[in-house]
């Protein structure tokens, strides 16, 4: 894995975190316990902070970045992700805030200043526009993302099922790595 300091910041990993050898985690980044970062993912906290909660899975080829403090974005936009989130393959999260139990579909993009409450699904290839607020309990889809229906009880159960399933998978990967050292 590539964990790289930038200026005075070194990424902080919680307990039992898995970061694939091909991923890059750089700068002011904190990753919570039992979270996982999968192949070819970039998490770049070089101009602002990135905070990722516990049991959150960042899938293959995702890009996580921030917006710096400047004349067009006073105070900038950090990236904050809650607990028990599943970030689908090839997602882009940029200077946004995600609550807990959020599923971001494959190829979705969430832009600067967007806020996604707890218990939300953002469909594959959706675009969450800058500054948009997605309320809890809904499935959002499209470009731009719009609410399409309320979450079912079964879908709400899926959030923690998915996060716990990825905790089991990353534990298997960590065990395999220990066996090769």
Report domain extents, the chain.
2-180
Work out the pLDDT band at 86, boundaries 50, 70, 90: very high
Q: Taking a C-beta distance cutoff of 8 angstroms, is the pair 31, 1 a contact?
A: no
β 36-37/12-13 pair status: unpaired
Rounded to an integer, what distance in angstroms lies between the CA atom of residue 142 and that of residue 128? 8
CATH 3.40.50.720 assigned to domain 2-180? The reply is no
| Bridge partners, 70 (sequence order) | 73
Q: Which of 1-5, 15-19, 72-76, 99-103 has the lowest mean pLDDT?
A: 1-5
| pLDDT the model gives residue 96 | 98
Rounded to an integer, what distance in angstroms lies between the CA atom of residue 61 and that of residue 180? 25
Evaluate if residue 153 carries a pLDDT over 80. Answer: yes
> How many Cβ atoms from other residues are within 10 Å of residue 105's Cβ?
21
| pLDDT the model gives residue 180 | 72
Coil, strand, or helix at residue 154?
A: helix
Work out the pLDDT band at 179, boundaries 50, 70, 90: confident
């Amino acid at each position: 894995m590539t964990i790289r300091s930038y200026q005075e910041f070194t990424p902080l990993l919680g307990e039992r975190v898995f970061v694939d050898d091909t991923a890059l985690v750089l700068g002011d980044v904190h990753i919570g316990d039992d979270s996982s970062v999968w192949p070819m993912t970039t998490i770049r906290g070089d101009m602002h902070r990135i905070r990722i909660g516990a049991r959150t899975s960042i899938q293959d080829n995702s890009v996580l970045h921030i917006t710096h403090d400047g004349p067009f974005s006073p105070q900038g936009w950090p990236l904050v992700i809650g607990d028990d989130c599943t970030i689908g393959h090839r997602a882009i999260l940029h200077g946004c805030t995600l609550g807990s139990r959020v599923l971001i579909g494959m190829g979705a993009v969430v832009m600067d200043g967007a806020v996604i409450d707890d218990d939300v699904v953002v469909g594959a290839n959706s675009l969450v526009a800058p500054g948009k607020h997605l309320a809890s309990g809904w499935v959002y889809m499209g470009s731009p993302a719009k609410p399409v229906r309320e979450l079912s009880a079964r879908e709400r159960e899926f959030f923690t099922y998915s996060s716990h399933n990825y905790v089991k998978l990353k534990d298997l990967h960590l065990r395999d790595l220990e066996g090769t050292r």
